[in-house]
């Protein structure tokens, strides 16, 4: 079992949802934290809470990953501060709903930067020193949506498919080293995601974020390239959709 005590875990989207659960879990395991998000007030509150509860060092950093090159700049910021990142969790993300033609182009650019570009940039930037040290963990949050294109969620599905593909390919590149990486593809989860995207929760039920964190860390322990924490019925549905002609699945999607 990996010992995270005294390691440093950098978590994006750390002020709420899945990212906040990762922060709590790693702090409980004795890891120092670098918490990245745009909500400075919430970051400071969580940092104080986790430091008081576990005695770990918590560094809250207000950072906007929707800006071009934000991931690359974050890697440089950590180097400038002299912070070695042992664990990277790319949890920040958001989704848009509507037709691609009618969605504001600036919002789409931000969605690509947060969901895709920042993930690629930080994965690459922090991976090199991990390989040099022959030790490290990278957890990239994708989505169940990565497995099928969904009309009216076109950009979100596409960005999450990118995260899944990138992470699995890098898993193949680092196999046999001391670095572990996995893509996490959750089904509906109890976070602010659906409020932000303005869409209802599929099936009306959402799993707790803590279950997603547990699945991710289990996948890392077993060196799995991906994990899909989702209800069994959703996993079956995704497998069935994968066997159908793409036109059939697109017509069935909303």
Active site residues: 156
Three-class HEC string of 149-174: CCCCCHHHHHHHHHHHHHHHHHHHHH
Please state, in angstroms and as integers, the Cα–Cα distance from residue 200 to each residue in 72, 91, 114, 204, following that order. 34, 21, 22, 7
Q: Order of strands across the sheet with 179-184?
A: 58-62, 32-37, 8-12, 87-90, 136-141, 179-184, 226-227
Q: Using the 8-state DSSP alphabet, how is residue 184 labeled?
A: E
For 189, the 3-state DSSP assignment is strand
């Amino acid at each position: 079992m990996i010992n995270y005590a005294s390691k440093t875990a950098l978590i994006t989207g750390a002020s709420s949802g899945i990212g906040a659960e990762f922060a709590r879990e790693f702090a409980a395991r004795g890891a120092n934290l670098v918490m990245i998000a745009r909500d400075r007030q919430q970051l400071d509150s969580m940092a104080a809470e986790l430091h008081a509860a576990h005695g770990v060092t918590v560094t809250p950093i207000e950072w906007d990953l929707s800006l071009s090159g934000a991931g690359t700049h974050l890697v440089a910021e950590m180097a400038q501060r002299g912070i070695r990142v042992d664990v990277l969790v790319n949890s920040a993300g958001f989704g848009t709903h509507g037709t691609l033609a009618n969605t504001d182009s600036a919002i789409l650019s931000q969605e690509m930067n947060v969901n895709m570009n920042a993930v690629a940039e930080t994965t690459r930037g922090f991976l090199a020193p991990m390989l040099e040290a022959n030790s490290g963990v990278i957890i990239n949050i994708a989505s169940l949506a990565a497995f099928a294109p969904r009309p009216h969620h076109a950009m979100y599905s596409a960005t999450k498919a990118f995260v899944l593909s990138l992470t699995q390919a890098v898993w193949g590149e680092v196999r046999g080293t001391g670095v572990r990486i996995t893509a996490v593809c959750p089904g509906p989860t109890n976070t602010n995601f659906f409020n932000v995207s303005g869409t209802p929760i599929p099936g009306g039920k959402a799993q707790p974020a803590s279950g997603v964190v547990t699945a991710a860390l289990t996948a890392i322990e077993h060196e799995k390239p991906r994990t899909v924490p989702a209800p069994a019925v959703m996993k079956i549905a995704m497998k069935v959709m994968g066997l159908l002609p793409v036109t059939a699945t697109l017509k069935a999607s909303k």
